[in-house]
Amino acid sequence: MKVSLSALPAFAKDFVVALPRVKGVHAHAVTLSGELGAGKTTFVQSVARELGVSTLVTSPTFILLQLYPINRAPFRRLIHIDAYRLSPGEKDTIGWSEYVADPENLILLEWPERLPGGAPRDARGLEFRVVDETTRDISEKKS
C-alpha cells in the first residue's frame, strides 16, 4: 500500500485499531524491515502517539531498546527495538527472551534479521520501501 508520509499517522491509527484485544501467550511482536530512511522509526513514533505515549520517541539505534508504558489492553508496555547494531550470532545482550515472553508487551522491532535468535515465527512483519521523497510502500512481509 502506498502511504504518503503525511498519511502515516492515519496508517498507524489503523494499525493500532487492529491490534489484538486479548492477551496472548507471549508478546505481540511486529517486525519492521526496510532500508535506512524508509520510515520505520517514523511509523513507530506515530504508533506511540496513537497509544498515548507523550514523551519524545527517538530511534534507539545506539541504546538498542526503548520502553514506553502504555495503557491499551492487553498491553502495558511498548518496546521499540532497533537491532541495526547487533549481529545475528551475538548473545542476547538486551534481554530479548524476557521481553518476548511477556504477553503484556507490544514489540516493534526494526532490523529483525540482526536480532540474536530472530523474531518469533508468528510475528507480523511490515516491509517499508521508499517510493519517492514523500511516499512509502508498506506491505505485509511474508515469513
CATH number for 7: 3.40.50.300
Mean pLDDT over residues 57-83, rounded? 91
Structural domain includes residue 61: yes
Among 69, 14, 11, 74, CA closest to 40: 11
Looking at residue 143, its pLDDT comes to: 54
C-alpha cell at 11: 496508517
Structural domain includes residue 89: yes
Structural domain includes residue 140: no
Has residue 94 got a pLDDT over 90? Answer: no
Structural domain includes residue 77: yes
Cis peptide bond upstream of 69, omega within 30: no
C-alpha cell at 67: 520502553
Range of the domain at 57: 2-15+24-135
Has residue 67 got a pLDDT over 70? Answer: yes
Q: How many domains does the chain have?
A: 1
For residue 117, the 8-state DSSP code is T
Please indicate, yes or no, whether the overall pTM of this predicted structure exceeds 0.85: yes
Please list, residue by residue across 71-86, b when 16 or more beta carbons sit within 10 angstroms of its beta carbon and e when fewer do. eeeebeebbbbbbeeb
